Amino acid sequence: MDCLFCKIAAGEIPSKKVYEDDLVLAFYDIEPQAPIHFLVIPKEHISGADAITPENSRIVSHIYEVIAKLSRELDMKDGFRVVTNCGEKAGQSVPHLHFHVLAGRSLAWPPG
Ligand code: 5GP
Ligand code: ZN
């Protein structure tokens, strides 16, 4: 399958790794929107938040455990945001489920 994040997960395209285990990879976003901006992806291809099912949803709790662990290890104690864009109108540009983690500055709410 011709999927950018599957290739990054497989190490075929290089990335600046934050964390990796058997199930997930976290890596810094190539166009950071905050002083800390990384993505957490399942290694398994899931096209987006609308493709989460009872069969594959355990990865989501694992990803949030990883995000919490990384928030303690990196300097994110002042707050952080987790964002998943789903679909074209929401700004999803890569059709492989990913969680943006943003920290290091004040973040406006609601988002634009
Ligand atoms: P989306 O727009 O789908 O919510 O998020 C995709 C994110 O992937 C964007 O923030 C974009 O900067 C990032 N991105 C796209 N291509 C690459 C790449 O080759 N390497 C890395 N590290 N990030 C990428
Ligand atoms: Zn993929």
pLDDT digit string, tens, across residues 69-106: 999 999 899 999 999 999 999 999 999 999 999 999 99
Q: Which of 2, 11, 66 lies closest to 38 in space, CA to CA? A: 66
Is the CB of residue 40 less than 8 Å from the CB of residue 23?
no
pLDDT at 25: 98
Neighbours of ion ligand 2 (CB under 5 A): 3, 5-6, 45, 96
pTM over 0.75: yes
Which atom of ligand 1 is least distant from the CA of 4? 19
**45 catalytic residue (yes or no):** no
Read off the pLDDT of residues 49-70 as tens digits, 9 standing for 90 and up: 999 999 999 999 999 999 999 9
> Peptide bond before 110: cis, by omega within 30 degrees of 0?
yes
**pLDDT (0 to 100) of residue 1:** 77
Task: Supply the pLDDT for residue 30.
Answer: 98
Q: Which atom of ligand 1 sits closest to the CA of residue 84?
A: 4
State how far Cα 52 lies from the chain centre.
Answer: 15
Distance 43 CA to ligand 2 centre (A): 8
